[in-house]
Amino acid sequence: MKKSKIDYLCRECGYSSIQWSGKCPTCGSWDTLERVNIIEGQKTSLQRQSPRKAEELLTVKNERIKTSFSNFDNVLGGGIVSGSSILISGEPGIGKSTLLLSFLPELAKVDPVIYFSGEEIEEQLVDRARRVGINLNNIYFKYTPYLENIVEDVETLNPGAIIVDSIQTIQSTAIPSSAGTISQVRECAQILIRIAKERNIPLIIVGHITKEGIIAGPKTLEHMVDVVLYLEGETHSPLKMLRATKNRFGSSSEIAFLEMKENGFKAVSDYELEAGMGEFSFLPGTSMTIILEGSRLYLAEIQALISPTFSPYPRRVFSGVDFNRALQLLAVVDRRCGLNLAKSDVYISTTGNLNIKDRSADLAIIAALLSSYYESTTDKIKFFIGEVGLQGEVRKVSQLERRLRELLKRGYKEVIIPDEPNSDFKNSGLQVKIIKEIRGLKKIFTS
């Protein structure tokens, strides 16, 4: 009889211990050690394979599988790599399953594709596929919460791709714990990834997220897979953003904009994205910037509102920008520009449901705050590009010239930046104002 021992694993870093403690000694997280049962005496058959010469592998070209969304392919680095494991996560109801169904026909053109679901039965999956309007040829659906059934079906049908929705609903009967626990998620993911590597077929896993917005289960799950994608956006908004946070086969900073409709997803171009935002207002409390995410450039409008409050705890509500970063910028503008925001509610938002992570938007956020505080606007349409330090200095940003060329191409010529552009822009009609620290920005709204 196989023996089992009790162990404690940290769901954040995977640290193992024979006894429970309130704080993980490795990552320092509190209340993250969970009890698991580990089966001892299990033997696995090892496949004997000799090392392969590098010069022989150079002649082998690993073709990428193209999907029906060029934006999605760009996020992956050019398409889905055979033998890769992709983890897609996002809020409940954001459209993860619908997105997977949208490009299933492309994966099933040559070999069959099996869609395993631990949440929906086969009839429900077919109804969803009909609504999306996809071709169901060569596609198999199966409801199963057991890993052993998945392994058996893969051996029998020999598919060209595997979809598992979701990993938190799958469990192995060899592990005495319920689905979604650390031991189940880690073991099931490890076996599925090994099968995908051995058969050289893509594996796409759907993962739930916690209330903190991180992928549920052990942190090692993200280290095990090749690609980690987040589908972001508000539930009531059709515009979604697909963001790569890890990619072994391409850039980990790429994004894609998708529009969710009744019949599935549709790729959104930069011009369609800006058209969907409506006309930019240029009213007090607004500013413009150009954002670089991966290889994409797009315009973004920042809005700010500073309102007096009689509450002892002024509100800080930020949407579309990092909360901690926005608090830092509030402290900088309060200290360096002499604004007294201790008795004011502050609201910062991006139009179009955009989630901005580019630090070059710092200057635009501060410009929107100053514009709202002084109820003033610039005399012309101006774009603000620059990262702001804690001392109020405006720092250089990457690929500044490329951003300026994009603005010129779209007909915008007034821009405030932290450094002189190169000589190519001297005769281009670009009107540049150099700002070294944010006190200079204050003069624009108070003059």
Res. 251: pLDDT tops 60: yes
d(CA 104, CA 92): 21
Res. 297: pLDDT tops 60: yes
Lowest mean pLDDT among 154-158, 230-234, 305-309, 379-383: 379-383
The model's pTM? 0.74
Higher pLDDT, residue 52 or 357: 357
Chain mean pLDDT for the chain:
84
Please state whether the peptide bond connecting residue 376 to the residue before it is cis, i.e. omega within 30 degrees of 0: no
Mean pLDDT of 65-86: 87
Mean pLDDT of 291-312: 88
**pLDDT score for 218:** 65
Contact residues for 124 (Cβ-Cβ < 8 A; gap 6+): none
**pLDDT score for 344:** 93
Let me know: does 68 contact 105? Beta carbons within 8 Å. Answer: yes
In eight-state DSSP terms, residue 392 is S
Residue 260 has a CB neighbour count (10 Å cut-off) of 20
d(CA 256, CA 99): 13
**pLDDT score for 149:** 94
Half-sphere exposure of 267 (CA within 13 A, CB side): 14
**pLDDT score for 19:** 82
Task: Give the sheet arrangement for strand 85-90, strand by strand.
Answer: 139-143, 113-117, 161-165, 203-207, 85-90, 227-232, 239-247, 255-261, 264-267
Mean pLDDT of 403-416: 87
103-114 burial, b at 16+ Cβ within 10 Å, e below that, comes to bbbbbbeeeebb
CATH of domain 64-268: 3.40.50.300
pLDDT-derived band at 210, boundaries 50, 70, 90: confident
Higher pLDDT, residue 167 or 7: 167
**pLDDT score for 41:** 46
27-53: per-residue pLDDT in tens? 888 887 777 765 554 444 555 667 877
d(CA 232, CA 99): 12
Res. 2: pLDDT tops 60: no
Lowest mean pLDDT among 65-69, 182-186, 263-267: 263-267
Torsion, Cα of 379, 383, 389, 391 (10° steps):
-10
Let me know: does 347 contact 317? Beta carbons within 8 Å. Answer: yes
pLDDT-derived band at 6, boundaries 50, 70, 90: low
> For residue 346, how far is the Cα from the chain centroid?
26
Pick the CATH number of 277-446 from 3.40.50.720, 3.40.50.620, 3.40.30.10, 3.30.230.10: 3.30.230.10
Mean pLDDT of 109-127: 92
**pLDDT score for 303:** 93
Phi, psi dihedral angles at 199 (to 5 degrees)? -95, -5
Res. 56: pLDDT tops 80: no
pLDDT-derived band at 213, boundaries 50, 70, 90: low
284-320 burial, b at 16+ Cβ within 10 Å, e below that, comes to bbbbbbbbbbbebbbbbbbbbbbeeeeeeebeeebeb
Mean pLDDT of 52-77: 78
In eight-state DSSP terms, residue 236 is T
- Alpha helices by DSSP H, 337-421: 362-374, 400-409
pLDDT-derived band at 59, boundaries 50, 70, 90: low
Torsion, Cα of 213, 219, 221, 227 (10° steps):
60
